[in-house]
Structure 1
Amino acid sequence: MAGRGESTDAVWERMEPLLPQVDGRGRPWRDLPERYGPWRTVYERFARWEADGTWAKLLEHAQVRDDAVSRVEWTVAIDSTINRGHQHASGARKNGDADGDELEDPGRSQTPQALGRSRGGPTTKVHLAVDGRGLPLSIVLTPGNVNDATAFVQVLDGIRIPRAVTGRPRTTPGRVLGDKAYSSRAIRYLLRRRGIAVTIPERRDQAANRRRRGALRGRPPAFGRAVYRDRNVVERCFARLKQFRAVATRFDKLAARYRAGLVLASLIL
């Protein structure tokens, strides 16, 4: 019998054919209940499946299955949330740690492991694109002090659901909903160019600047208040994801491992 927060036997039976074979190597994950076996083995398997893309493939499999029966709702909401990093999340070595962990990309040295320093300590920002049901389609991590709009293109480009049989993957939402943090000419132009409808409210300063230009001010961007109410699905998704302790507070030193936890939580949802 599955305990609270555990997957059922039926879920594991569906996942089993998609999982790689295990080889018995191990590393520590100390808080794991003893009934799961040696925590070293469990953590190493978790890390290995992150590295070889198994977790991402499992989530993609669920998305492909849903899209094949038209369950994915392509009105997509995008937003971010800031999660506090535990003190143990800091200190990942740039050249790999003593246990042979993965190397950090030298090109990301300005933002090591998606941790940003703020007055309250280290933080990570989780950017999500969710479908109309509030289920994640794209997950991007940045340091907590990064502006939402700068990650928008990466989040949008992360939406990719292959077809169940043949055809090009689905990458284009029918509409994108976002709050005022995404109100910029560049974002609106990008979405129009890709043929994606936009529902993003205009910021006050942008409206004031447009009015000051007088006859040259142009039209305000189209905005459907009723449609915008559906943006709450991304807020609800964050609330559900933060029920997982390892998501609400970042304990992982490596951004890839923390993101793998988010993918796993999304798969459970």
Structure 2
Amino acid sequence: MGRSRGGLTTKIHALVDAAGRPILLKLTAGQAHDGRSTMDMLATVGSGQVLLADRGYDADYLRTPCGRGARGAVANIKPMPGRKRIPAFERTLYRKRNVVERFFNKLKHFRAVATRYDKTDASFLASVHLAAIRITLRGYEAVT
């Protein structure tokens, strides 16, 4: 848990697939930088995949591991406005990042996650995982 002006805060970092199903979930303190906490999450991004992230994750140390070595993934991260050397960025591909935003919107429908009832990080992460499981199972429900 992190401390901010409003009190204790927590950030949820999520890595989702193209269908919006969560692959990896992680908690960090509210005041922690987004980019530094995601280095271990990049291990799950494989060859031929595209990493879509928002401006908070725009850093050269996050872009280079995606394209180097056996990983072979492509990073399509919207550059910060004050950046001097602007990397390649494709707007039409970036629009597909709304899948992540829709996942977080579904996650906020669970009251225990939205209001953070749990006091410890482990129990809060467990409730986030349970909510993510329910979101994933909704996609497999039969409509008939």
TM-score interval, normalised by the smaller of the two chains: 0.7 to 0.9
Distance 2:116 2:42 in 1: 24
Q: Which residue of 2 aligns with 1:117?
A: 3
Note if contact 1:140-1:154 (Cα within 8 Å) is conserved in structure 2.
no
Query: For residue 188 of structure 1, what is the aligned residue in structure 2?
Result: 63
1:155 shift after superposition? 2.5
What's the CA shift for 1:130?
Answer: 0.7
Q: What CA deviation, in whole Å up to 9, does each residue of 1:64-107 have, x standing for no partner?
A: xxxxxxxxxxxxxxxxxxxxxxxxxxxxxxxxxxxxxxxxxxxx
CA offsets per residue over residues 237-260 of structure 1, 9 Å max, x none? 001011001111112122111111
Aligned to 1:233: 99
Matches within 5 A, 1:41-52: none
Distance in 2 (CA, whole Å) between partners of 1:240 and 1:154 is 25
Q: What is the CA distance between 1:222 and its match in structure 2?
A: 1.4
Q: Find the residue that maps to 2:39 and give its secondary structure.
A: helix
The runs of 4+ residues in structure 1 deviating greater than 4 Å are none
CA gap of 1:146–1:267, structure 2 versus 1, over 3 A, is same
- What amino acid sits opposite 1:238 in the alignment? F
For 2:107 and 2:40, locate their aligned partners in 1 and report how far apart those are by CA, in whole Å.
21
Which residue of the partner structure matches residue 156 of structure 1? 42
CA contact (8 A) 2:42 2:66 kept: no
* TM-score, length-scaled by structure 1: 0.47
Radius of gyration: which is bigger?
1
Aligned-pair CA distance for 1:201: 1.6
Candidates 37, 46, 52, aligned match of 1:172: 46
Q: CA deviation at 1:221?
A: 1.6
> Is 1:130 equivalent to 2:16 in the alignment?
yes
Paired-residue identity, %: 42
Q: Which runs of 5+ in 2 are unaligned?
A: 136-144
Aligned to 1:202: 79
1:49-60 alignment runs, 5 A limit: none
1:141 deviates by 0.4
- Assess if the C-alpha contact under 8 Å between 1:176 and 1:199 holds in 2: yes
Q: Deviations over 1:132-187 (max 9, x none)?
A: 11111000101111111011112223x4xxxxxxxxxxx52611001111111111
1:203 deviates by 1.2
Structure 1 distance, partners of 2:101, 2:115, is 17
SS at match of 1:223: coil
SS at match of 1:251: coil
- Structure 2: distance between partners of 1:117 and 1:256: 17
The aligned length equals 132
Shift of the alpha carbon at 1:197? 1.0
- Which is helix-richer, 1 or 2? 1
Stretches of structure 1 lacking an aligned partner (at least 5 in a row): 1-114, 160-170, 211-219
Which residue is equivalent to 2:33? 147
Q: Give yes or no for contact 2:3–2:9 (8 Å, CA) kept in 1.
A: yes
Return the TM-score normalized by structure 2: 0.86
